[in-house]
Structure 1
């Protein structure tokens, strides 16, 4: 396994391929909702098995508040703790860019995973692409 950071939408196809497989094909999210304005300003992290992209996530921020999102791992690689690797590296990147807090939008079933990294739920649940989500935040000391 090796990691690659991609800035903005340049050479974005590997990150998008993983997202399309997980969110569009597996979770049946409308493909028109998968790309957004934040892709162009994000740092995308892609995990490769040899030359095959198998996991991805992104981070972007304004001032000292950052957002992690689009965390996904291809189904056949989920037992390899790649989600944990992604989260650790994305949090490290946000902190290195002077984040005071890091936010994310979690599908309800995944809140336990994110809480292991110090994220806490806030606000009410809401629908995003037809799936229940809740906002979470991690304060950086």
Structure 2
């Protein structure tokens, strides 16, 4: 998979298509909750396999950390380690911006995935868009 930091509107639209397919169509997140006011100021990433967008995410910088958000891989492309590749690229973006901490809100079913990447839970379970989440952090 080739991961691009979004520079052109077409790439941003590709990231939105992947996010919509995963979060809105598959997980029933309301569209107005998925594409939100934070998209404008975020750094977007999109992963391509054979020029087809298959993964997406965004990074925002808050306080003293980079926040990994909206990490997703199309259902038919899961199991190929694209999620790991996306996280590694996001962490690189965060470090290049001068930050040494990463934070994310993991869906409860993905906690073990993030723990394998050295993220640790720092919150109790909370609901976001009707889905249980846990906040996790990692020192980079």
TM over 0.5: yes
Shift >6 Å, 4+ stretches: none
Flag structure 1 segments of 5+ consecutive residues without an equivalent.
none
Distance in 2 between residues matched to 1:43 and 1:116, nearest whole Å = 24
Matches within 5 A, 1:1-141: 1-6=1-6, 10-11=9-10, 12-62=12-62, 64-140=64-140
Equivalent residues, number: 139
Deviations 1:98-128 (A, max 9, x none): 1131110000110111112211101221110
Root-mean-square deviation (Å): 1.5
Unaligned residue ranges in structure 2 (runs of 5+): none
Distance 2:129 2:62 in 1: 24
**TM, length-normalised to structure 2:** 0.92
